[in-house]
Amino acid sequence: MDTEAVVIDNDPDRLQGLPHPVLLGDATEDDVLERAGVRRARALVAALSTDAGNLFVTISARALRPELFIVARVRVEVNEDKLRRAGADRVVNPQSIGGARMAAFVLQPHVTEFLDVVMHDRDIEFRLEEVPVPEGSPIAGSSIRDAHVRDRTGALVLALRDRGGAFTTNPSPETVIHAGQVVIAIGMPDDLDALERLVAGQTPRLPR
């Protein structure tokens, strides 16, 4: 999915040379968020240098666009719950993630590197994708087998996530797909495009 990002920063030097639209200003101020187009945005990443700043951005953005998906960075672990209560959908602690990744490279280097390639290397076509199942989807209420997901798209379903956030990993062919779930699948771009079309009730193109 191609998405245009707008970068807000109060330091003009950090905005120089960025390949995205930029806005010089303080992201904690409502009018700056408004000028950046927050009311039209699909998601917002609050990545200021302080937890207090990210808290202000989260509160302001949530008030301006209640349905916005907000990811906030946190530096101090005790502030994670505050950011969630303020309206952040996800809270990311870079130090914690960095430590976990270092441990993963020690314990499972090949698995960790494979996931890095799939998620971030744009020269490799194999991809992981999430596809929401809307109300009225023709595959809602059908099992993975009966929906012929693999046969009709070529994509492999790795997991289903329900409305409450719980995952069903490595689902069996008899697992029923429900509206409101998110299908997490892996495949080539054409396979994943076919999966999106299948879920939406459009005729999927045959996989290669």
All domains of the chain, ordered by start, with CATH? 7-92 (3.40.50.720), 127-200 (3.30.70.1450)
pLDDT at 204: 58
Enter the pTM of the model: 0.70
pLDDT at 99: 86
Cβ 36 vs Cβ 44: under 8 Å: no
pLDDT at 133: 96
> How many angstroms separate the CA atoms of 76 and 68, rounded?
24
> How many angstroms separate the CA atoms of 161 and 50, rounded?
32
Long-range CB contacts (< 8 A, 24+ apart) of 55-59?
A: 55/79, 55/82, 55/83, 55/86, 56/28, 57/27, 57/28, 57/33, 58/83, 58/86, 58/87, 58/88, 59/86, 59/87
Q: Which residues of the chain are modeled with pLDDT < 50? A: 1, 207-208
> How many angstroms separate the CA atoms of 86 and 44, rounded?
14
pLDDT at 122: 65
How far CA 171 is from CA of 43, 60, 77, 113, 158, in Å, comes to 29, 39, 33, 24, 7
pLDDT at 175: 96
pLDDT at 123: 67
pLDDT at 80: 94
> How many angstroms separate the CA atoms of 87 and 118, rounded?
30
Give the amino acid at 161.
R
pLDDT at 24: 96
pLDDT at 89: 95
- Residue 20, helix vs strand vs coil: coil
